[in-house]
């Protein structure tokens, strides 16, 4: 078979290698503590599960949804008003079958072969994979510790900026755990308007911001809607990643194009999931607080524990991860990841799998409970890895 060149962008060698090695360790009776994939282990809210149980029993819910229900659109509009003080109109909202698929669909609407897309580095892989599938030429914007992992707009070559069609931005950030202040977003809007670049802000971790800070929306910045949209997802906020519920909000022209693509390729979200989204968005804020506090506590337990045994790591400002520079005696994050796995059964993701500027780091997903986190710290302490 001869497959398209595009498929070459989809290699996931590292995750395959990690899972083969994980299976081997388990077969040898090792207690594997897996911090690799960011899939929430926190149970969804009981009201969401109850509603789903009910709705999947109704025959009328099995037709093609095609479009979003008014209830879903209104729930998103109300969530944006209450949560971020952002006013949205009906034509500024569309659901996505997960933000991942939204990335690919958005790229199809904006990108022609050879168009330049600015993406952060390190970054969540779909930020480059989506545009690459549409034929984009990727220009990477380094996220550096000395800049608090914020994009440095002044460092973007003017010729590249002039050619760029789309910029992908995402805070709270996966994998660096950085958050962005309001003045960063003000600069972003000014920059994007100056060079006529569309912006996608991925706000998947808006609710997972720690130490008393509250996440916001890019759309709350004056002028943001003129140039961009925001993705938001229920996957992490409501611990329902398998339902594939997300939405895009903002610039009505982009939203309209997304609706056109969706009407051709996905036919809309399963109606019980649309109803689950409404229940989650109008549900008690206590659930979201529990989720946020759980990740915050885990981040503290892990970083305090590791700092005590000599692995110096910053506490995350947001998200559900810890971003850790590898111990100084290691030169490569890959080598460290596999040594760590061999010597302790602890699995993390090498930073280089998120891009060139992830080299020398590992990402630790806070998806194991505090007891297991302490066990991992103990295993690391008892190994000679540090």
Ligand X SMILES: Cc1ncc(COP(=O)(O)O)c(C=O)c1O
Binding region for ligand X (CB under 6 A) = 38, 98-100, 124, 170, 174, 202, 204, 233, 235, 241, 246
> Which residues lie closer than 8 Å to 18 by C-beta, 6 or more apart?
36, 337, 341, 347, 349
Between 99 and 198, name the residue whose CB sits nearer to ligand X: 99
Q: Compute the least distance from the CB of residue 211 to ligand X, in Å.
A: 20
> Which residues lie closer than 8 Å to 292 by C-beta, 6 or more apart?
207, 208, 209, 210
Between 184 and 311, name the residue whose CB sits nearer to ligand X: 184
Q: Compute the least distance from the CB of residue 32 to ligand X, in Å.
A: 21
**CA–CA separation, 15 and 386 (whole Å):** 24
Q: Compute the least distance from the CB of residue 157 to ligand X, in Å.
A: 25
Between 217 and 235, name the residue whose CB sits nearer to ligand X: 235
Question: What is the widest separation between alpha-carbon atoms in the chain?
Answer: 61
Burial 177-215 (b: 16+ CB within 10 A, else e): bbbbeeebbebbbebbeebebbbbbbbbbbbbbbeeeeb
Between 153 and 231, name the residue whose CB sits nearer to ligand X: 231
Q: Compute the least distance from the CB of residue 93 to ligand X, in Å.
A: 15
Rg of the chain over Cα atoms, rounded to whole angstroms, equals 21
**CA–CA separation, 27 and 35 (whole Å):** 19
Between 134 and 320, name the residue whose CB sits nearer to ligand X: 320
Between 44 and 305, name the residue whose CB sits nearer to ligand X: 44
Contact call for residues 153 and 191 (beta carbons, < 8 A): yes
Q: Compute the least distance from the CB of residue 98 to ligand X, in Å.
A: 3
Between 111 and 246, name the residue whose CB sits nearer to ligand X: 246
> Which residues lie closer than 8 Å to 70 by C-beta, 6 or more apart?
none
Instruction: Report the 10 Å Cβ neighbour count for 115.
Output: 17
Phi-psi region of 16 (alpha: psi -120 to 50; beta: other; left: phi over 0): alpha
With tokens 């914020």, the residue in question is 150
Between 291 and 377, name the residue whose CB sits nearer to ligand X: 291
**DSSP per-residue codes, 257-307:** HHHHHHHHHT----HHHHHHHHHHHTS-HHHHHHHHHHHHHHHHHHHHHHH
């Amino acid at each position: 078979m001869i497959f398209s060149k595009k498929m070459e962008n989809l290699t996931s060698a590292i995750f395959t290698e990690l899972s083969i090695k994980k299976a081997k360790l388990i077969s040898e009776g090792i207690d594997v503590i897996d911090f690799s994939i960011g899939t929430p282990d926190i149970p969804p809210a009981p009201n969401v599960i109850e509603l789903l149980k009910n709705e999947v029993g109704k025959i009328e819910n099995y037709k093609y949804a095609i479009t979003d229900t008014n209830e879903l659109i209104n729930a998103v509009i109300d969530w944006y008003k209450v949560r971020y003080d952002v006013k949205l109109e009906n034509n500024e909202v569309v659901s996505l079958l997960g933000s991942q698929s939204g990335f690919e669909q958005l790229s199809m609407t904006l990108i022609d072969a050879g168009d330049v897309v600015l993406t952060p580095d390190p970054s969540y892989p779909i930020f480059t994979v989506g545009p690459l599938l549409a034929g984009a030429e990727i220009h990477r914007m380094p996220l550096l510790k000395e800049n608090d992992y914020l994009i440095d707009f002044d460092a973007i070559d003017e010729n590249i900026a002039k050619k760029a069609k789309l910029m992908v931005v995402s805070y709270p950030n996966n994998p660096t755990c950085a958050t962005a202040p309001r003045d960063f977003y003000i600069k972003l809007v000014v920059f994007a308007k100056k060079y006529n670049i569309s912006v996608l802000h991925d706000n998947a971790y808006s609710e997972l911001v720690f130490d008393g800070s509250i996440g916001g929306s890019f759309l709350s910045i004056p002028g943001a809607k003129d140039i961009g949209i925001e993705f938001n997802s229920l996957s992490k906020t409501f611990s329902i990643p398998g339902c594939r519920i997300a939405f895009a909000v903002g610039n009505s022209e982009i939203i309209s194009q997304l609706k056109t693509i969706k009407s051709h390729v996905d036919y809309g979200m399963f109606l019980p999931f649309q109803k689950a989204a409404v229940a989650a968005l109008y549900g008690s804020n206590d659930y979201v607080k529990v989720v946020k506090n759980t990740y915050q506590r885990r981040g503290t337990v892990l970083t305090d524990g590791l700092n005590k045994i000599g692995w110096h790591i910053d506490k995350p400002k947001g998200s559900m991860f810890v971003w850790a520079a590898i111990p100084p005696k290691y030169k490569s994050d890959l080598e460290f990841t596999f040594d760590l796995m061999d010597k302790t059964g602890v699995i993390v993701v090498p930073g280089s799998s998120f891009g060139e500027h992830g080299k020398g780091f590992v990402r630790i997903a806070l998806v194991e409970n505090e007891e297991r986190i302490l066990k991992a710290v103990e295993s690391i302490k008892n190994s000679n890895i540090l």
